Amino acid sequence: MRAPGEMKSDGSVGSDRSDRACSPTEPPLGVPTKKGIRPSGGYRRLRSFQATTIIYDSTVTFCGRFVDKHSRTVGQMVQAARSGRQNIAEGSRASATSSQTELRLVNIARASLDELLLDFEDYLRQHKLAQWGKDDPEAKAVREVGKSEGQSPDGAAYAAWLAHTNPAVVANAVICLIHQANYLLDRQIAGLEREFIHKGGYSERLAAARMEERRKLPDAPDHSAGQPLPAGPRCSKPMILRTARKGENAGSRFWGCTAYPSCKGTRPVDPG
């Protein structure tokens, strides 16, 4: 029953990274709200999170209306629905320091929704209720809501199905929503994998950022050739490698005293 094109995947990967609700003063999608090696958050704007929120709320309501409250199935279905939602949020937050953790948690969310999907299918089968096919008019109508442009639909947009008195209608509608969320999560996982392959994880980016900062420091000592640090000719204090910024020698490197400006002793760099 999965149809490509079910719900837009806006912001599925690497978009907004704020955990706040949208407001006119917030930056547009794709712009981190705070600086960091790897921005994090933003799960409230992810289509996958919005879809799983509807699924979680609908599952709780469905179990309360149509499933025996003493059945273990209630707890299992509610926990699976909650896991699908919460792991998206937790993974988005964890992305600041571990892309692998983010990917693992999003995969857990995907697996939880598969478990929930089976529970709803089992309910229909065990109660001898028909399951909608992918091309059934009812299934297409539910999918059309998810394809809407602009603001993402909320639970009220699906009220005609989710508040229905017939449990078969409600269960089938939730099944359609699960397929939509799974489609979004599949794209999100693929995007995270591509990002990790091309840009690396947190540790790699942190090391690269550190190397870039060191490269920007012209006065950093150079031990690349195993050259010992010379002593200053005036005060005998250690010297560091500097770069002339003015005058006829601008751009050339020389040894300067670490006590500068109180000591202005210099030595030429040995070209050999």
> 27, 211, 14: which is closest to 95 by C-alpha?
14
In-domain check, residue 30: no
Asked which of 209, 227, 254 is the last residue of a domain, the reply is 209
> 57, 67, 50: which is closest to 15 by C-alpha?
50
Same domain, 163 and 268: no
Same domain, 271 and 201: no
Please write the tens of the pLDDT for every residue from 4-49.
343 443 333 333 333 433 333 434 433 344 455 555 568 898 999 9
pLDDT over threshold 80, residue 188: yes
The dihedral sign for the CA sequence 142, 53, 104, 21: positive
pLDDT over threshold 80, residue 213: no
Same domain, 139 and 248: no
- Tell me the pTM: 0.64
Locate all alpha helices (DSSP H) within 21-166, ordered by sequence: 47-66, 72-94, 99-126, 137-146, 159-162
pLDDT over threshold 80, residue 217: no
Same domain, 234 and 148: no
Same domain, 51 and 130: yes
Same domain, 190 and 224: no
Please write the tens of the pLDDT for every residue from 80-120.
999 999 999 999 888 877 888 899 999 999 999 999 999 99
CA dist 153 to 4, 51, 58, 117, Å? Answer: 18, 8, 14, 21
Same domain, 74 and 90: yes
Same domain, 129 and 153: yes
Asked which of 159, 188, 209 is the last residue of a domain, the reply is 209
Q: Which long-range contacts (CB under 8 A, 24 or more apart) does 224-227 make?
A: 227/270
Asked which of 209, 232, 249 is the last residue of a domain, the reply is 209
Number of domain units in the chain: 2
Please write the tens of the pLDDT for every residue from 37-59.
555 568 898 999 999 999 999 99
- Give 224 or 192, the one with higher predicted confidence: 192
In-domain check, residue 96: yes
Range of the domain at 231: 217-272
pLDDT score for 32: 40
Q: 42 with 22: CB under 8 angstroms?
A: no
